[in-house]
């Protein structure tokens, strides 16, 4: 979910500041550092659980069956 990603990214940036991202010289792409990626993944899961449990928002891949 884009919303969950944005919240997790902002929390990660607040925690790691300028050490959030690192440039991969081989691919010339910016990405999370190993430490910030672990933190991001934990925050993503936490925010996603809250969105599911509190707001009843669920993300589906493909066509959900209701």
Tokens 């009843």 map to which residue? Answer: 56
> Rounded CA gap, 25 and 23, in Å?
6
pLDDT of residue 58: 75
Residues near 24 by beta carbon (within 8 Å), at least 6 away in sequence: 30, 31
pTM here is 0.81
> Rounded CA gap, 37 and 46, in Å?
14
pLDDT of residue 1: 80
> Rounded CA gap, 9 and 11, in Å?
5
> Rounded CA gap, 23 and 38, in Å?
17
- Positions in the chain short of pLDDT 70: 59-66
Domain ranges of the chain: 2-55
pLDDT of residue 61: 56
């Amino acid at each position: 979910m884009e919303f969950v990603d944005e919240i997790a990214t902002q929390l990660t940036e607040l925690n790691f500041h300028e050490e959030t991202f690192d440039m991969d010289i081989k691919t010339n792409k910016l990405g999370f550092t190993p430490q910030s990626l672990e933190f991001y993944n934990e925050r993503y899961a936490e925010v996603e659980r809250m969105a599911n449990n509190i707001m009843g928002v669920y993300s589906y891949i493909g066509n959900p069956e209701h």
